[in-house]
Structure 1
Amino acid sequence: MDFSEMLKDSKQVTYDDFVIDSGGIADDIIEMFTNPLAIEVQEIYKKDILELKNIKTDKGTVFGLRKLNFGDISQAPEVLSGQVAAVDGTFALPRQDYSTGSAVCVAVGSATMTRTLQDSLHYWSSTKALKNTQDIDDFLDLRQEHLYKPNNSAFMRYFEAAHALKIDEKFIFFDGLLCDEWLANTKEGAALYREMLEHPNKKFIGVIKSCKKNLMFSQYARACPSGSILLIETLYEHINRRESETRFSLHSNKQEVRSFWNELSPRIIRGVFKPYKRAFGFEVLEDHLDDMIRLLAADAHMSQEGHEIPYLLNLVDGEIRRMFKRHKLLNDIALKMNQTSDSIYQEEWDEHAFRPQQA
């Protein structure tokens, strides 16, 4: 669909209709799920699941369904003994774009069943680069570069992977992709992921909390039966299929990047797991598959329907957000701005801060 079709298919809703029944918007959205074709697609994917068992990786791993006993912690003593760590990150300072520069700060942490949060804070701003500029043109060029080039999520994913390599635990749950695509297409990211995936003593799995951004994953997630895990494809196949629609390439001109995609991505298995009513995605190195899905299933948070991700991921997510509240840093910056110059504060701070409060 192009933008002109989107405009053509839109409809106007009056305020009176909105007050009465939300203008029919809610009913319209529900129709997407109950549409006969949507139901038929789900049946097609259920049949496709049965066909996946006929596909194998080069090493012999069979795709398709596996039944698992979720939430039985007794089948994973490594979790209780503290050998499994969950790693997560949050933006302690979301990306800030000021008129003369940019800044971002991420907090990364890990926790196990036997130790509290081990954390680290990583901050970047364009201050250093802009300070070293030679003239006004150089300053403006750097400002333009910093405004558009950095990828904030990749910045956080880099330090999550680096943190996972530094901690002592042998088994690691990541919140999100095992390998961030943008990061893996940089020299630094490819080198870090190679070090991580070829580590002789550590094993990793990425847990994807939402499958909705990937069409194929979202359909398999709905079709996957409860109490099972579904092996769907390799990361190589995923990237190769999407290469025509993305700037991420299997044939990068950077040697480190090209070797990562061609040597390691075929060994990364992607799939979904469904403890009960909701499915989640995952990525895991094929050599780590059996151990990591056993640990993932054992640590499934079965007491919270619809959010049965590993308990450790809930633990570290709550702790890292509690300790590094973004509002504290934002308020400190606003206060410093105001103390330095009232005009700087008025020009640079979020426009929402100046909106009149409704009674």
Structure 2
Amino acid sequence: MDKPPFQLQHIDHLVLRVRDAGAMQAFYCDVLGCSVERRQDDIGLLQLRAGRSLIDLVPVDGKLGRMGGAAPGEEGRNLDHLCLRVEPFDREAIVAHLQAHGVRITEFGLRHGAEGEGPSQYVIDPEGNTVELKGAADVPGVAPRDAAQAETSSRTEPASSSMALHLLEVLKREPILFVTLAYLFVSFMGLWLSYWFYRRFGLPVLEYMQASDFLVAGLRQPRYAVAIALMVAAAWLATWPLLFRRRHPERVEALRKKWWGRIVFANSKLFRWPGMSQETGLVVGAFWGSIWLLFAYVVDDAERIRAGGGNVVQVTLANQSAPLAGDIRLLGTNSAYVFLWWPTERRAEAVPIESISRIAALARPLPPASRKAPAAAAKRTP
């Protein structure tokens, strides 16, 4: 008898059809020490991490569960299918081998398993049970490795289908790409936030920008770079427990027996969005959170200046000896214009740089109540 064109690695996952998903989750997680890996309520699927493998719970009243017929009982099996991890996964060779033995072949596709998303072929055994032959997770940018090396690596660091983790691996291999993306992101933030800041003063700032201004818009505000650093730090702190759980599932389950371990490695549903891994959801949440926090900051800064705050300046135009009249605030500059605001007149102007000979910073005038306080104190002095 000819040998199959692959080697069995281990059981990738089992799928159990269940009547009470809550009770089953409590048993496998609280009693046996599994952890929730992935939840897809829209199709009725709860995947539990069991070391290197997964145990899938499929409620019989869910979309997937209804396809299996009656609920499991004493006289009926509740195993939906058995998944075997195979290496290598050459679909044409596998199909030819199965056809030569008269095996019934059903669906093929990319499916999520214990190591991530990879190629999967369903077949039917002689008793009617479904067996899934699962290939390695498809990790973009990772060079092929021999079977022995892949097996050794999978014991300590299972592959992931997380887009955020794939991007992280690419950035670790190409640090110059990280610098480029960070620079472009800071520039984008500078343009976007400048638009909303100057919009509060009725200035269409994008129309006053030169080509060079688009490249350095974010660099004029160091807080944008600080925001990126905080976003990266927040994303890393939020995803670190998930990464550690993937690489050391047994250690995590041991740590979860301690009170602080249950907090750090909590089985949280936060940021579990359909079609997106939890790591990617956390990164996306940190990204949008930083953008909206900065947006709120610049709008508040603009309102503060409109109310009389900001940098008080004295502006003298070219060929003029006397400075411009009025209480003036400096909004900002670019390569060609200086943007000024007159709070009392509620007026903003973009003044060409070549028409200005001098800008002097002035101390902000004290409010009337503050000026009267020292005089009153002097009168009480004996």
Confirm or deny a common fold (TM above 0.5): no
Higher relative contact order (CA 8 A, sep 6+): 1
TM-score normalised over the length of structure 2: 0.17
Answer with 1 or 2: which has the greater Rg.
2
TM-score normalised over the length of structure 1: 0.18
